[in-house]
Structure formats: C-alpha cells, structure tokens
Amino acid sequence: MNKKTGLKREPLTDAQLLMSITIVIFILMYLAAMAFLQGGFLHPQQIFDMLNDNASLIIVSCGLTIVMIGAGIDISVGAVTSLVVMSCVLYLNGGGNIFGSILLALGIGLAFGVVHGFLISYLEIQPFIVTLAGMFFARGMTTILSVNPQKVEHEGFAALRDVKIEINALGYTAKNGNFVPARMELGVVVALLCVVVIFILLKYVRLGRNIYAIGGNQQSALMLGINVKRTRFISYVISGLLSGISGYVFMMHTGAGNATNAAGMEMNAIASSIIGGTLLTGGVGNVLGTFFGTMTLTTIKKIVVSSGLNDPWWQSITTGGMLCFFILLQSVVLNKRSKSKK
C-alpha cells in the first residue's frame, strides 16, 4: 500500500455530498437575491431576521433530523411546541416563575418523547401513527387549555423576552440617519447552541453513531452488538425534549400563546431536514445540513415575497416545489452513486 493514501482526502460521504449541494444552492440563491432584489438582502440584519423568526423551527428540525437518521419520523413536533407555549403562558400568568416555566417546557417535551419512544421502539408500533396521535393529543390539549390567544403578563419574562444581542459592526444607518445595530434574539443563541450540541452528539458521542448505525441497517446494528431498541427510544426522547425547548423559544419570540401556534411546523421541519440532506430511508443526514435546509427554505420564502409575488399562496407553492426538487435530487444522486459503485 502506498503511504500517500493517508494524506489523500476522502471522497464526500452521502451526507456530506447532499449537504454540500444544499449549501451551494443556499449561497447562490442568497447571492442572486443580493444582486437582483437588493433591498433588505444587502443588510446583514436580513440574516438575523431569518434566524430570529425561525429559531424554534431550527430546534425542532434538529430533533427531526436525529429521528430521521434513525429511520423514523416524528410529526408531533409542531403540536408539542404549541402545547408548550400555551402551558408556559398560562403557568406564568398564573403566578409561576421563570425557572418553573422552563422546567415545565422541558417536562412536557420529555413526556411526549418518552411515550412516543416507548410505543415505537418497545411496542413496535409504526412511528407515523404514534406521533400522529401525539400531534392530535397535543393540539387538542392546547385548545382545552385555552381557545383564545393568551399574552404573557409576567414582568420577569417580559425582561427576558426583550433581551436582544446587538452587534454594532453589522449594523447600518437607516434613511432617517439613525444607526441601527444588527439585533439577534436570545432564542437564536439557544437554537445555535442546540445545533452545535446535536452536531457533537451525532459525531463524537457513541449514542449518535449508534443512531446512524440503526438507520443504516437495523439488522446489522443488532449483529454488531448495538442495543437497537434503547437507541431508538432515546432518539425520540431527544426529539421530544427539543420540541419542549422549541416551545420555550417560540414563546420568547412571540410572547403569547395561541392555539394555532406553530401550525404546519412539523412539515416545515421535515422539509428542512430533507433539503439539508437527511435521507428519507435513514442512516444519512447531518444537522449542519438541516440548519442550512431551514435557511434555504426561509430564503426562498423571502425571495418570493421580495420579488413581488405577494399573493399569499406563492410561499407554500414554492416550498412544495423546492421539496419536490430536493426529493427527486436525492433519489437521482443516490441512484447514480449506487450504480457507479457496482
């Protein structure tokens, strides 16, 4: 064997390849938007706005990516987020404190994760049906708690909500001469932290690699000595926990609970994961890709709005189109790869 092989760069793995495609498309799209649409796209605040608005989506997408890598699905994330928001708002308005509300959010998320994980991995019920029931339950509970929108009245929370990280270097001077610094919400920090933690979990922690293994080939994973059931169980628990965090971040962004909060979030999260290169069949995915998936999805929506397609339907039609494009791309790219291997 040649000693030089050690220095040779490895070809991209499936996950890296799909993620790279997404990142390239994201950058090209953003550059194109800067060149042709200008406006907000020229200011760094545009990116911060996208992050501020989508912090909780990024968090649940991370959870979905984990579950999807393990060849499962969790469609309850949006509904759980909504339930967490409503519960925490009512708790705070009922005289609760901040610390308690955070525990409540995590507790609700964890409870959903544990029940889903148990039913799916130990009772071997189809994940789609289980998390569908979870979604129904969470949505129903939200309206049972309150049909009407509830605003947080808690003062301590209001202070927490208004914490904004200001970055002067990326600010700009508005038309009226005032200097506007780039503003980032606390929730974005939480979201980015989640991305980093999950990235490390998936890459450097045994549990993470085991999730890849069960998604890649469940039978093999069993033969290799991995506890498949426990690993799958934990993947749903993590997803549930992240839904809890996402709920809290959502509340920090909106400051109010509403039964229709986070409607359709699960589908946006699945779309983010798919666009970011998570394979539908499991075993392949990358949480950084998911992050860029969310950003790509958001950018295209912004572009649609900025380019004058103001009609409300264009956003989701383009989302659907994007999703179709990426699903077909995955199918074609991976088919080609498996053929060239033979």
Partner 1 sequence: MQDEVLLQMSHIDKRFPGVLALNGVDFTLRRGEIHALMGENGAGKSTLIKVLTGVYRMDGGTITVEGNSISIHSPQDAQNNGISTVYQEITLCPNLTVAENMYIGREDGAWINHKDYEKKAGEILERLSIPARATQQLGDCSLAVQQMVAIARAVDMKCKVLILDEPTSSLDDKEVNMLFKLMRDLKAQGVGIIFVTHFLEQVYEVSDRITVLRNGELVGEYLTEELPQVELVAKMIGKDLDELNDLGSAEEKKTSDKEVFYEATGLSSSDALPFDFQIRKGEVNGFTGLLGSGRSESVRAIFGADKVTGGAVKINGKSVKITRPIDAMKNGIGYLAEDRKRDGIIAELSVRENIILALQVMKGLFKPISRSEAEAFADEYIKALNIKTASRETPVGSLSGGNQQKVILARWLLTHPDYLILDEPTRGIDVGTKLEIQKLVLKLAEDGVSVTFISSEVEEMLRTCSRLIVMRDRHIVGELKGADLNQTQVMKTIAGGEA
Partner 2 sequence: MAGNIKKKFSGGLGQLTIPVIAIALLVIFNLIRDPSFFSVGLSHNNDGNIVLAGNLISIINGASELAVLAMGMTLVTAACGGQDISVGAAAAIAGSVFVKVLKTSPDISGGKVLLAFICACIVAMLFGTFNGTLVAVFKIQPMIATLILYTCGRSIAYWINGGATPTISSPIISAIGSFIPGIPIPTPVLIVVAMAIVFKLVFKFTSLELLTQSVGINGSAARLNGINSTFIKLLSFIILGVCVAVSGSIGVSRLGLINHETLLLDIEMDTILAVAIGGNNLGGGKFKISGSIIGAYVIQMLTITLYAMKVSSTDVKAYKAIVIILLVVIGSPVVKEKFGKFVSKLLDNRSKASLKGAQ
Q: Which residues bind partner 1 (CB under 8 A)?
A: 1, 5-6, 8, 10-11, 13-15, 204-207, 209-210, 212-213, 215-217, 219-221, 223-226, 283-284, 341
Min separation Cβ 66 and partner 1, Å = 15
Buried b (16+ CB within 10 A) or exposed e, 90-117: bbbeeebeeeebeebbbebbbebbebbb
**Cα dist. 302→75, 112, 133, 261 in Å?**
25, 33, 33, 20
Q: By CB under 8 A, is residue 36 in contact with partner 2? A: no
- Token pair for residue 24? 């390239």
- Token pair for residue 310? 């103001």
Nearer to partner 2 (CB atom), residue 120 or residue 188: 120
Q: What is the largest CA-CA distance in the chain?
A: 71
Q: How far, in whole angstroms, is CA 218 from its chain's centroid?
A: 25
Query: Per-residue contact track with partner 2, 256 to 285, x per CB under 8 A?
Result: ---x----x--x--xx--x-----xx----
Nearer to partner 2 (CB atom), residue 98 or residue 133: 133
Choose the contact partner of 219 out of partner 2, partner 1, none; CB within 5 to 8 A by kind: partner 1
- Token pair for residue 199? 């990235």
Contact partners, residue 220, CB within 8 Å, separation at least 6:
213
Nearer to partner 1 (CB atom), residue 132 or residue 197: 197
Choose the contact partner of 205 out of partner 1, partner 2, none; CB within 5 to 8 A by kind: partner 1
Contact partners, residue 260, CB within 8 Å, separation at least 6:
82
Q: By CB under 8 A, is residue 328 in contact with partner 2? A: yes
- Return the range that interacts with partner 2 (CB under 8 A); candidates 134-142, 177-185, 240-248, 298-306: 134-142
Site for partner 2 in 284-313 (CB under 8 A): 311-313
Min separation Cβ 267 and partner 2, Å = 5
DSSP states along 97-108: -HHHHHHHHHHH
Choose the contact partner of 336 out of partner 2, partner 1, none; CB within 5 to 8 A by kind: none
Q: Beta strand pairing status for 256-257 and 179-185?
A: unpaired
Please give the residue ranges that form the binding site for partner 2 (CB under 8 A): 73, 119, 122-126, 128-130, 132-137, 139-141, 143-144, 147, 259, 264, 267, 270-271, 274, 280-281, 311-321, 323-324, 327-328, 331
